[in-house]
Structure 1
Amino acid sequence: MSFLFKRNPKTAGDLVRILNEQVVKLETTNGSERKKAQDEVSRHLFTIKTIINGEENPLNDASHGSQTETLTQLSQEIYSFDLMYNLILNLRNIEFDSRKIVVLLFNSLLKRKVGNRSPTVDYLLSRHKIVVTLMRGPETPEISLNTGLMLREAIKHEAVAKSVLYDPLFWKYFDYVNTDSFETSTDAFATLNDLLTQHKQLVGSFFSNDQIVSKFISGINKLITNGNYVTKRESTKLLADLIMIKLNYNLMTRYVNDVENLKIIMLILGDRSKNIQLEGFNVFKVFVANPKKEKAVIDILAKNRNKLLQFLGSFNKERNDDLFIAEKDFIIQQIQALPKIIVAEKVVEN
């Protein structure tokens, strides 16, 4: 009959304080004590879910106000107790279904506005350790989908996205994408993709740094050449999308002026998958259309002139897309205009 003695919180402050105490026990206890703490964490998280969903207020405080007032009090107490950090830090020790409530709570907090401000964004910026803990999510496969959902919701806010982009841990995402777990790899790529495509001004400034561009090119080329089918296709598509954005001019010029990158993309054109070939073409066309090609790039294109023309002549002939047809015709014309390399015959002396 132990349930008769369970503490039922009367206020938002009580709820957060008691939940926080139980979450901390997940770190410090084992066996039956940890299981008891897990049950209590789940019970109190369910109470929070009820409040968020606007159901009957389960708190015992008869003087509680509206749902909005209760959510405001709840949010303030969560910030005060640093509960969000403790929940994320101990996410792997929380029961499976209750992890979803943690995601619901985190995303609900992010949507809360006070005038033009987002208190939760301010909170995350002042507690960067929360963002870092989310970024490390792929290192723990059983919670990586949960942390990925929270991180992608957070980086919708440009200030948080900036803190992630400029954190050294950002570069680990190229390793996370290459992990053996398909779910973790796919989720990590979704985060990488959102980071590099959602805030164009921010990313354009990010790529204005030559050292960062070099590091990115190295990372994306590894995904393109070493990844599985999905990683190869999506990485090539991401690269194509990025170099077509004017604000990423420094990335585009650095990429298409390097003959080693051209060799990688020409290999992608020869991939067995038509989908990967098409994404490769969307990068290749930028090499060819570049009016200021490096001599080494011209030499490679000219050397492979006949093979490229033969390939492009039959490439996606069935595709009924006016833009694609026009682009392919233009690329063919550009390659046809390349200088022909004449191989000198050896003169045999008598």
Structure 2
Amino acid sequence: MSVGDENNDNIFAIAQEACALDLFPILAICLPKLDFEARKDSTTILNALLRYNVQNAQICVLYLAGRHQGGHRPDAILTLVNAYNDAETSSNSGQILKEAFKYEPLARIALYDPSFWNFFTYVQGGRFDTSSDAFTTFKELLTRHKVLVAEFLASHYDEFFTQYNALLTSDNYITKRQSIKLLGEILLDRANYNIMTAYVDSPDHLKLCMNLLRDKSKNVQYEAFHVFKVFVANPKKSKPVESLLIKNREQLLRFLPKFHEDRKDDEQFNDEKAFLLKQIEMLGQPPGFPQQI
């Protein structure tokens, strides 16, 4: 047996013992009681346990998800999610969660538990560093596992977007900017095609997006543009959405040419803006209708 094999055997034994002793959930629960250095060490240990694999299997991941040695400790993941209530431990908990959410079984635990909805509070409340870290974790959870997230959004569509749209009108500038940017990523992901078509069928969503185009922040305006273009480019617009665009056509045709004029060197943005102007100009006209020259 090589030295490497001996080390692997030792690490395997440590991982097995850690699971047998419920070390992961115990440390997760005890994080608030530890001092700063001990929390750092605990974070390092738990992340190492999550990453360790033997024969392409993560022992601790399987244990937490209930697929190894009879273990089933989803409470460990949920304890870490709820730790965003504690500003002192949220950074450590967030580091562990970001590592945990790389694994689909653990991301599933967080998505389908009622505590998931607390993220909508965490990302816009409390200290700046805590809310920013919570949003990074929130984004990881909603973008890492495409099929899982698409299934979740389909089964929780109304509740999710009711709460998500509230983030888009938040008084917190950072929350608003991050949320509109993430919305664009979610809608433009191929795995979320059905979610995207449902979202852009709503005239209320279009109204919200058009309001964000006029937000006082240029960064929010720019990110809103990337959502707005999905509404306009959709070849199968719902009647209410098409009617709303037609109603606002003249205003949009005056507004968009001046929209972020300073981005003269952004070729893709200007091409997209020109495309949208063309599409808006042709709204309501029958197929094959001659375009204005």
Match of 1:285 among 229, 236, 248: 229
2:141 pairs with 1:195: yes
**Matching residue of 1:245:** 189
Question: Take 2:126 and 2:246, find their aligned partners in 1: how far apart are those partners?
Answer: 39
Question: Take 1:242 and 1:227, find their aligned partners in 2: how far apart are those partners?
Answer: 22
**Matching residue of 2:208:** 264
2:11 pairs with 1:71: yes
Gaps of 5+ in 1: 1-64, 341-350
SS at match of 1:225: coil
Match of 2:114 among 154, 158, 168: 168
Match of 1:338 among 278, 283, 293: 283
- How much has 1:206 moved relative to structure 2? 2.1
**Matching residue of 1:23:** none
AA partner of residue 197 (structure 1) = T
Question: Take 1:84 and 1:295, find their aligned partners in 2: how far apart are those partners?
Answer: 53
TM-score, L = length of structure 2: 0.89
Question: Take 2:49 and 2:23, find their aligned partners in 1: how far apart are those partners?
Answer: 12
Which deviates further from its counterpart, 69-78 or 111-120?
69-78
2:267 pairs with 1:322: yes
Match of 1:92 among 29, 32, 44: 32
1:252-298 deviation line (CA, Å, top 9, x unaligned) = 12211111111111110001111111100000011111112122212
TM-score, L = length of structure 1: 0.75
AA partner of residue 165 (structure 2) = N
Question: Take 1:247 and 1:111, find their aligned partners in 2: how far apart are those partners?
Answer: 26
**Matching residue of 1:30:** none
AA partner of residue 165 (structure 1) = L
Question: Contact 2:16–2:59 (CA<8 Å) still a contact in 1?
Answer: no
1:291-327 deviation line (CA, Å, top 9, x unaligned) = 1212221222122222212221011223222221221
**Matching residue of 2:288:** none
2:75 pairs with 1:108: no
Gaps of 5+ in 2: 66-71, 286-293
- How much has 1:72 moved relative to structure 2? 3.0
- How much has 1:71 moved relative to structure 2? 3.0
Give runs of aligned pairs for residues 123-272 of structure 1, distance below 5 A. 123-125=63-65, 126-209=72-155, 212-272=156-216
Question: Take 2:55 and 2:283, find their aligned partners in 1: how far apart are those partners?
Answer: 59
Question: Take 1:94 and 1:180, find their aligned partners in 2: how far apart are those partners?
Answer: 22
Question: Take 1:249 and 1:169, find their aligned partners in 2: how far apart are those partners?
Answer: 26
AA partner of residue 277 (structure 2) = I
Question: Take 2:91 and 2:169, find their aligned partners in 1: how far apart are those partners?
Answer: 25
- Size of the alignment, in residue pairs? 274
1:223-252 deviation line (CA, Å, top 9, x unaligned) = 110141111111001111111112212211
Question: Take 1:259 and 1:116, find their aligned partners in 2: how far apart are those partners?
Answer: 47
AA partner of residue 305 (structure 1) = R
Which structure has the bigger radius of gyration?
A: 1
1:141-175 deviation line (CA, Å, top 9, x unaligned) = 11011101101100101121122111121111111
Question: Contact 2:253–2:277 (CA<8 Å) still a contact in 1?
Answer: yes
**Matching residue of 1:14:** none
SS at match of 2:88: helix
2:27 pairs with 1:83: no
CA spacing shift, 1:298–1:76, aligned 2, 3 Å: same
SS at match of 1:317: coil
Task: Provide the aligned C-alpha RMSD in A.
Answer: 1.7
Question: Take 1:208 and 1:218, find their aligned partners in 2: how far apart are those partners?
Answer: 14
Question: Take 1:331 and 1:109, find their aligned partners in 2: how far apart are those partners?
Answer: 50
**Matching residue of 2:290:** none
